[in-house]
Amino acid sequence: MAKTTIEVKETNARHALLVISIVALMSFLGVLTETSMNVTFPTLMHDFNVSLTTVQWVTSGYLLAAALIMLSSAYMKRRFTNRQLFVTAALLFIIGDLMCAMAPVFWVLLAGRLVQAGCVGLCSPLMVNIILDTVPTSKLGTYMGVANGSYAVITDKNSLCDN
């Protein structure tokens, strides 16, 4: 028996919500690791025997790499599917995490952080693209507000912890 248009839309909406939630979670984790790195500076300086100016590249490089990838998101949206971008972002996050976890020297840790930045650089615009591609126009504001709320929550939580 063929599904009605309403049943198809409801199924697509549930699927879209799941995908948006997963991408939002990946973005949330990326922002969390981005903002929480500052507290690890003293430990990193001691463990890798590097100066503060060197260890700051862990955060500066991460933000720079994420921003550069975000700038290319319009091109990537035209060139690749959302699924390809999502899989790439997930792989970048996993590979970057493994590189950081097993880093024997500071430069491997820094390279791992730059790879992790690829995840955030892809996920942030990808989340918006998926919402725009799949959510009915009447619900765009709700979905955009909920999805982008993850950034506000983590940024606000980390700024409160710094005080």
Alpha-carbon torsion angle 51, 56, 57, 61, nearest 10: 180
Q: Find the distance separating the first CA and the last CA of the chain, reported in whole Å.
A: 60
pLDDT digits (tens, 9 = 90+) for 10-69: 556 667 778 777 887 877 777 777 777 888 999 999 999 999 999 999 999 999 999 999
Alpha-carbon torsion angle 134, 139, 141, 147, nearest 10: -50
Q: What is the pTM of this model?
A: 0.77
Which DSSP letter does residue 112 get?
A: H
Alpha-carbon torsion angle 71, 74, 75, 81, nearest 10: 130
